[in-house]
Amino acid sequence: MADINKRGPDILGGVPRLASLTALSVRHQLESDAVLIDARPERNFNLGHIPGSYAVPHGNAMATWVGWVVPWGQPLVLLSADASHHDDMVRQLIRIGFDRVHGFLAGGIEAWKSAGLPVEVTNRIGLDNLKEAHEESTA
Residues near 139 by Cβ (< 8 Å), separated by ≥ 6? none
Quick one: DSSP state of residue 70? S
Q: What is the pLDDT of residues 8-39, one digit of tens each?
A: 555 455 666 889 999 999 999 999 999 999 99
pLDDT digits (tens, 9 = 90+) for 44-54: 999 999 999 99
Q: Where are the domains of the chain?
A: 2-138
CATH of domain 2-138: 3.40.250.10
pLDDT at 1 over 90: no
Q: 104 - beta bridge partners?
A: 20, 78
Q: What is the pLDDT of residues 42-89, one digit of tens each?
A: 999 999 999 999 999 999 999 999 999 999 889 999 999 999 999 999
- Can you tell me the distance from the alpha carbon of 97 to that of 86, in angstroms, rounded to the nearest whole number? 16
pLDDT tens for 87-133 read: 999 999 999 999 999 999 999 999 999 999 999 998 777 777 778 87
Distance of alpha carbon 42 from alpha carbon 54, whole angstroms: 11
Phi/psi of residue 121, nearest 5 degrees: -120, 140
Q: Are strands 54-55 and 19-21 parallel, antiparallel or unpaired?
A: unpaired
